[in-house]
Amino acid sequence: MKPQWVIAGILVMAATAGAIVVSTWRGKDDDQSDALRRAIDDGRARNVILFLGDGMGDSEITIARNYQAGANGRLWMDTFLLTGEYTTYAVQESNPSLIDYVTDSAASGTGWATGFKTSNGRVSSIAGTGNAVTSLTTILELAQKAGLRTGNVSTAEITDATPAVLDAHINERGCHGPANMANCAPYKKENGGPGSIAEQSVDHKVNVLLGGGRARFAQLITGGPFVGKTVIQSAQANGYTYVDSAAALDMASSSHVLGLFNAGNMSLEWSGLLATPSPGSGLPAGQTCLENQRPSNEPSLAAMTSKAIDLLDDDANSGKWREHGEGSHRNRKGFFLQVEGASIDKQDHVERPCEQIGETIAFDRAIKIGLDFARNHPDTLIIVTADHAHTSQIVPVPAATDLTRPGTLSTLLTKGDRSLMTINYGTRAHGQSQDHTGAQVRIAAQGPQAANIVGVTNQTDLFHTMAHALGLE
């Protein structure tokens, strides 16, 4: 990796038989050793912001980077100096001492949210306990107990598995709302349980809940003091301000905000063509994605992240954190915020590369908001990771007549360097939901105690990294 010629201090270029070889080695002046030394801080974190890219394995990151910024470009999530990898897996419900090597978001989320492995489909509840009411304490619950403010943001239904693992405990992730409780009978309120995921999330009094899933919260509660009311009405009775549009979210300023911007999952940022079986990948010129497809009444993930930070950091200085420094805090405790880019996973399942990339870029823009906040608030631990790997792969560009490729293919013309890149979805036949995969995924961090993510860790270690940084264990 030793550079032979340094040009402009940035690029090393060598002409080889007419080809240009480019290295991004930055040379001696850009040696990272000092920056890494400075980045390691063993102090206490006041705030934690966890950015969770659902299904955002190394392959999904690389695909989005290549398309958006080119092979030598970098996303915001690539700028963290401290990175590691962590293993993801679940345990088996029938015998929790055995491993399930491919996890879903519920079991993996339970891992990072509670420090305990569970089986696929479970939301912060103990593997092997059937539909009995069991709970594993979450990082959000510990933060609340210590007086920190809490927030949960997602582009999925806010009752979906990843956000749910923080503020609900239930045996089956499908029990979103009071009308979806067929597999969770002991959890129903009329049976003395804590209710569906939607009910539990507002009963938890999480300060900021932003995402999709309005239809779940419009269902009628079937037991307890709010029987016959909707979950939204119960939230309002408990002090929540409810908003359902980007404009209303901008105006919100109370200590508890419930924002539901779509009946189901939130709308996608980009659109494009479905991957197709070989040789139909056609597209010899490569497809170009259509951007800016999200309706304006739904906020972007970056806008939700920015507003969540405004609401959680300091009511009185709402919107001012970009200018003010540490001194303006009035002895308030910090906050814990989770931000999920949910539809990276969902579009990977349905073989749609443009939609998948658009959601990855939207997630990256939300990370930029967190980095901006941390610049004035260095006592903020920021973590960027995924819950599991996924099916999409970068494969050689096929000949139009190639009949030997399994799975489905889509060729894209990358924006950054105008090259062709072919994506393959091959864990299932075309039209079926593509599978998660079992590879380790990236974890990156900055801020107090970020060094604990370096190396190869286990997903459950992330719970302890966050809890220890906040002084909660």
Q: Where are the alpha helices (H) located in 185-320, listed in sequence order? A: 197-203, 214-217, 231-237, 246-251, 301-313
Interface with Zn ion, residue 355, by CB under 5 A:
no
Q: Tell me the closest approach of the beta carbon of residue 390 to Zn ion, in angstroms.
A: 7
The residue whose Cβ lies closest to Zn ion is 345
Residue 460 near residue 117, CB atoms below 8 Å: yes
At closest approach, how far in Å is the CB of 464 from Zn ion? Answer: 25
Specify whether 105 is catalytic. Answer: yes
| # residues contacting Zn ion (CB under 5 A) | 1
Give me 99's structure tokens.
């491993």
Least distance to Zn ion, CB of residue 325, Å: 40
CB of 105 to Zn ion, least distance (A): 6
Cα–Cα–Cα angle for 377, 381, 385, rounded to 5 degrees:
135
Which one of the spans 13-21, 218-226, 249-257, 341-349 is the region binding Zn ion (CB under 5 A)? 341-349
Residue with smaller CB distance to Zn ion, 204 or 346 = 346
Q: How far is the CB of 170 from Zn ion (least distance, A)?
A: 18
Least distance (Å) between residue 351 CB and Zn ion: 13
* Between 117 and 388, CB nearer to Zn ion: 388
Cα 111 to Cα 88, 105, 124, 392, 397: the distances in Å are 9, 10, 8, 24, 38
> φ and ψ at 10, to 5 degrees?
-120, -55
Rank residues 340 and 345 by Cβ distance to Zn ion and give the closer one.
345
The dihedral of CA 402, 408, 412, 417: what is its sign? negative
Q: Rank residues 391 and 411 by Cβ distance to Zn ion and give the closer one.
A: 391
Which one of 30-38, 162-170, 338-346, 363-371 is the stretch in contact with Zn ion (CB under 5 A)?
Answer: 338-346
Spatial neighbors of 63 by CB under 8 A, at least 6 apart, are 353, 356, 357, 360, 392, 394, 421, 423
Q: Which of 345, 359, 387, 461 binds Zn ion (CB under 5 A)?
A: 345
Instruction: Name beta bridge partners: 361.
Output: none
Q: Which is nearer to Zn ion, 193 or 212 (CB)?
A: 212
The closest alpha carbon to 258, from 227, 291, 225, 304, belongs to 304
Q: Which amino acid is at 371?
A: L
Q: Report whether 87 contacts 456 (CB < 8 A).
A: yes
User: How many Å is the Cα radius of gyration of the chain?
Assistant: 23
Helix (H, G, I), strand (E, B) or coil at 349: helix
Helix, strand, or coil (residue 227):
coil
Closer of 198 and 342 to Zn ion (Cβ) = 342
Scanning 144-152, 188-196, 320-328, 337-345 for contacts with Zn ion by CB under 5 A, the matching segment is 337-345
Helix axes 461-469, 105-114, angle to 10 degrees: 40
Residue span binding Zn ion (CB under 5 A) among the ranges 39-47, 81-89, 245-253, 343-351: 343-351
From the CB of 124, what's the least distance to Zn ion, in Å? 18
Which of 281, 343 has the CB closer to Zn ion? Answer: 343
- Minimum distance between the CB of residue 345 and Zn ion, rounded to whole angstroms? 4
Nearest residue (CB) to Zn ion, 345 versus 461 = 345
Q: Which residues contact 464 (CB under 8 A, 6 or more apart)?
A: 115, 452, 473
**Per-position b or e across 92-117, b if 16+ CB within 10 A of its CB:** ebeebeeebebbbbbbbbbbbbbbbb
Q: What is the Cα 383 distance to its own chain's centre?
A: 10
How many C-beta atoms surround the C-beta of residue 327 within 10 A? 5
Q: Which of 33, 94, 105, 201 is catalytic?
A: 105
**Taking contact as CB under 5 A, which single stretch among the options 205-213, 344-352, 354-362, 406-414 is the one that binds Zn ion?**
344-352
What residues make contact with Zn ion under the rule CB under 5 A? Answer: 345
Catalytic residue set: 105
